[in-house]
């Protein structure tokens, strides 16, 4: 697969072509899951793979050991989509970057808000499903860029230019090793005076990142979102939403 950007052109039959591409990608059985944003009530139909074992087999030889977390509908992505839907003015007309496209829940809200959106993910399957799900639910798709944010490449840095006014990141912090590279990256990606909108489900590593970000001069309000979430197994998860402004 070409690792470069995929443009977001509106074409007749594009949805059908995306559906065919998803079927041909060999992701195993697929299902359309109804996802309701708890606070705003907006509902999406999100196509996702249902055979986790099959997806694990596909990445068994991956040297980056990137497990297919993208194939789940996580509370953080739903919470960030809900927050965006409640404040579309923060994204309308702005160049926006999302780190970790997942299945496109957050991207759908960003596009519906009027963002000029670029999404990134390491998994090409994630980008493909994100494009399909955003087209079905928002009527258009983002620019898609395959990259590993832990090792940013020239394509990502070239797309950044002078920086994005808004960068979105839902549930990207998993391990302690993520803190330093993410902080360095967002310092490069977010334009001076811009916004990093981070959603996280309460892992200790997220608290470490927020502490480091504040020391580095990032500031802004935080909120919590208790759900409810699409998956009953996520009952009790409280997502932290942090709107951090970059120091100038």
Instruction: Look at residue 115 and tell me if it is in a domain.
Output: yes
Q: Is residue 4 part of a domain?
A: no
Cβ burial, residue 45 (10 Å; 0-12/13-18/19+): exposed
Supply the pLDDT for residue 7: 42
Q: Which residues does the chain have with pLDDT short of 70?
A: 1-12, 56, 58-67, 248
* Residue 12 pLDDT: 55
Q: What is the pLDDT of residue 142?
A: 97
Q: Are 200 and 240 in contact (CB under 8 A)?
A: yes
What three-state secondary structure class fits 124? helix
In this structure, is residue 3 part of a structural domain? no
- Give pLDDT, residue 3: 39
Domain span at 132: 14-245
Q: Judge whether 122 lies within some domain.
A: yes
Q: What is the CATH number of the domain that holds 154?
A: 3.40.50.150
Query: What average pLDDT is seen over the chain?
Result: 90
b/e map of 51-70 (b: 16 or more CB within 10 Å)?
eeeebeebeeeeeeeeebeb
Q: Residue 6: inside a domain, yes or no?
A: no
pLDDT digits (tens, 9 = 90+) for 134-188: 999 999 999 999 998 888 889 999 999 999 999 999 999 988 999 999 999 999 9
Looking at the structure of the chain, the number of domains it has is: 1
Q: Output the pLDDT for position 233.
A: 95
Is residue 75, in this structure, part of any structural domain at all? yes
């Amino acid at each position: 697969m070409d690792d470069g950007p995929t443009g977001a052109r509106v074409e007749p039959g594009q949805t059908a072509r995306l559906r065919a591409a998803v079927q041909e990608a060999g992701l195993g059985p697929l299902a359309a899951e109804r996802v309701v944003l708890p606070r705003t009530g907006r509902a999406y139909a999100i196509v996702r793979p249902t055979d986790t074992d099959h997806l694990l087999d596909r990445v068994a030889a991956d040297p980056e050991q990137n497990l297919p977390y993208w194939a789940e509908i996580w509370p953080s992505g739903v919470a960030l989509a809900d927050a965006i839907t409640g404040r579309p003015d923060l994204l309308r007309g702005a160049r926006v970057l999302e780190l970790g496209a997942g299945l496109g829940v957050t991207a759908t809200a960003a596009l519906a808000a009027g963002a000029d959106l670029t999404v990134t993910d390491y998994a090409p399957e994630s980008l493909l499903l994100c494009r399909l799900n955003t087209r079905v639910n928002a009527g258009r798709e983002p620019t898609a860029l395959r990259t590993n944010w832990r090792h940013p490449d020239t394509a990502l840095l070239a797309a950044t230019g002078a920086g994005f006014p808004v960068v979105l990141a839902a549930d990207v912090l998993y391990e302690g090793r993520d803190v330093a590279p993410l902080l360095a990256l967002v310092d490069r990606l977010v334009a001076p005076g811009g916004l990093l909108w981070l959603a996280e489900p309460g892992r200790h590593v997220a608290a470490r990142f927020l502490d480091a970000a504040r020391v580095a001069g990032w500031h802004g309000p935080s909120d919590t979102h208790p759900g409810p979430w699409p998956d009953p197994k996520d009952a009790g998860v409280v997502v932290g939403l942090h709107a951090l402004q970059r120091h100038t």
